Amino acid sequence: MTILVTGGAGFIGANFVLDWLSAGDEPVITLDKLTYAGNLESLAAVADDHRFRFVQGDICDAALVATLLAEQRPRAIVHFAAESHVDRSIRGPGEFMRSNVDGTFTLLEGARAYWHGLVGDDKSGFRFLHVSTDEVYGSLEPGDASFAESHPYRPNSPYAASKAASDHLARAWHHTYGLPVVTTNCSNNYGPFQFPEKLIPLVIVNALAGESLPVYGDGRQVRDWLFVGDHCAAIRTVLAAGRCGETYNVGGRNEIANIDIVQTVCRLLDELRPSADGPYERLIRFVADRPGHDRRYAIDASKIERELGWRPAETFDSGIHRTVRWYLDHGDWIAHVKSGAYREWMSRHYRQAGPTP
């Protein structure tokens, strides 16, 4: 028995692979293109583990997908691979359509052909787990009920639209062809190995370098934060017991405004790594807002809690503490990530974002 994980060198995929191998004996094959967001250093702890195999490749490569499935014969595919950063999707949506829409289509077609050839328990036990986001549901007003699985799809960014398209493909491949698909829609993750273009690691990494902490607009946008290990546990639970054709929303009921997140991280750093120049909050800068910025996300996770018994293990306090500690202890990982390509993105994006008029 083995599973195939796409995007396993990214933030959540790497956490999933590490957790998977420490939780059981089953091997895992990772297929990842190693875009700017993919990082083999995040998988260094399992590089020599005989149960781990890494294949560098593109999910849009139908021949590679077919060969991998035929040779490795996984009992499940856990599909993380995607372009994942909203700001990049605004500046260049093309890659999002290719990897997120075309890539998911290619993978579903490969899975369908492979699954078709399985028999007996191998066929009935096969799963395609499609990992998605709460951003497909659009934006909530203050006081609106959280996103349940029945909430209409109203994606607002190119990223969200590409993920919504991939969710629709996954749904159709189940409905039309019977492919055993299960989908998860999770809220914002944070934790170890997150690329520092996303809010929480960006604030930690910039603060430690004495650089400004950019807050878009008024900073009152709300996200619903979940520690990455809790997301990985939810995916394992859905893989083991989720019903085919169903979607499961995953979230930690941690609605927090961006400015509060930034201040919390600053205070933790003041405590754990005080700066001689004074409190880190001095570095906060309000900058021009993201175009089409969604105001609020919130997940109603009652279905996965009720049906599958999943609950998050971390509170936001414990999770953010672990996360800040991890970045403080992994200066090498940060230094290697801050390569030329990363610096180029930071200077281009934030120069154009500019300060709030």
- Contact footprint for ligand TYD (CB under 6 A): 86, 188, 198-199, 202, 214-216, 221, 223, 258, 290
For residue 211, indicate whether it is catalytic: no
Minimal distance, residue 162 CB to ligand NAD, in Å: 9
Instruction: Give the max Cα distance, the chain.
Output: 66
CB atoms within 10 A of CB 297: 23
Reference 337, options 197, 131, 183, 178; nearest CA is 197
Site track for ligand NAD across 75-94, x = CB under 6 A: -----xxxxx----------
Q: Is 129 in contact with 6 (CB distance < 8 Å)?
A: no
Which of residues 3, 4, 5, 13 is near ligand NAD by CB under 6 A?
A: 13
Nearer to ligand TYD, 221 or 264 (CB): 221
Structure tokens at 251: 């979230």
Residue 199 partner contact from ligand NAD, ligand TYD, none using kind-dependent CB cut-offs of 5 to 8 Å: ligand TYD
Residue 202 partner contact from ligand NAD, ligand TYD, none using kind-dependent CB cut-offs of 5 to 8 Å: ligand TYD
Buried-exposed string 52-80: b where 16+ CB fall within 10 A, e elsewhere: bebeebbbbbeebbbebbeebebbbbbbb
For residue 134, indicate whether it is catalytic: yes
Rounded-to-integer distance, Cα 6 and Cα 13, Å: 7
Which one of 83, 134, 230, 255 is the catalytic residue?
A: 134
Minimal distance, residue 10 CB to ligand NAD, in Å: 2
Reference 356, options 283, 259, 286, 262; nearest CA is 286
β-bridge partners, 52: 28
Assess 129 for contact with ligand NAD (CB under 6 A): no
**Which 3 state secondary structure label does DSSP give 313?**
coil
For residue 109, indicate whether it is catalytic: no
Rounded-to-integer distance, Cα 121 and Cα 189, Å: 34
Rounded-to-integer distance, Cα 185 and Cα 238, Å: 11
Nearer to ligand NAD, 38 or 214 (CB): 38
Nearer to ligand NAD, 184 or 206 (CB): 184
Which of residues 186, 222, 266, 301 is near ligand NAD by CB under 6 A?
A: 186
Nearer to ligand NAD, 81 or 283 (CB): 81
Residue 7 partner contact from ligand TYD, ligand NAD, none using kind-dependent CB cut-offs of 5 to 8 Å: ligand NAD
Site track for ligand NAD across 130-149, x = CB under 6 A: -xxx----------------
Burial of 89 (0-12, 13-18, 19+ CB in 10 A): buried
Assess 236 for contact with ligand NAD (CB under 6 A): no
Scan for tokens 């969710």, then name that residue: 167
Assess 254 for contact with ligand NAD (CB under 6 A): no
Residue 86 partner contact from ligand TYD, ligand NAD, none using kind-dependent CB cut-offs of 5 to 8 Å: ligand TYD
Q: Pick out residues in 49-68 that bind ligand NAD (CB under 6 A).
A: 58-60
Nearer to ligand NAD, 105 or 280 (CB): 105
Give Cα separations from 156 to 93, 160, 294 (angstroms).
Answer: 13, 6, 7
Minimal distance, residue 184 CB to ligand TYD, in Å: 16
Give Cα separations from 37 to 11, 261, 317 (angstroms).
Answer: 8, 23, 27
Residues that bind ligand NAD (CB under 6 A): 6-7, 9-13, 32-35, 37-38, 58-60, 80-84, 99, 103, 131-133, 163, 186, 188-189, 195
* Residues with catalytic roles: 134-135, 159
